[in-house]
Amino acid sequence: MTSLALNNLPNWATLLSLVAHLAAGIVVGVLYFRSLWWNARRFTTGGRVSTTIAVMIGRFVILGMILTLASLEGALPLLLMALGVVIARPVVMRGIREITP
């Protein structure tokens, strides 16, 4: 959806689309930061390095692809999706109770 297409939508549909981008950003952010936590634990416990590196690369690629797709729809959807990723970080950090030395 381009910004021109957002202008042609009814107001409720535009709002729904933007809320969906924010929600998708939160979901992607939660998945991103949970996999980051999993990666950090794998590095510290001495897990298989190849699996850990593959997940790390996959995490960056998936986040980049999703944000790129959002950018094709315009600046506002991209910013809302990025805001969702930023909102997800403290949510995940609050959920993680395990502290490693």
Q: pLDDT digit string (tens) for 67-88?
A: 999 999 899 999 999 999 999 9
Q: Which candidate, 75, 82, 74, places its Cα nearest to that of 28?
A: 82
The ranges assigned to domains in the chain are: 31-90
Sign of CA dihedral 8, 11, 12, 14: positive
Q: Which candidate, 82, 78, 81, 74, places its Cα nearest to that of 3?
A: 74
E strands, the chain, are none
pLDDT at residue 42, rounded to an integer = 86
Residues of the chain predicted below pLDDT 70: 1-7, 98-101
pLDDT at residue 3, rounded to an integer = 52
pLDDT at residue 101, rounded to an integer = 47
- Name the percent of the chain lying above pLDDT 90: 53
Q: Which candidate, 38, 55, 56, places its Cα nearest to that of 98?
A: 38
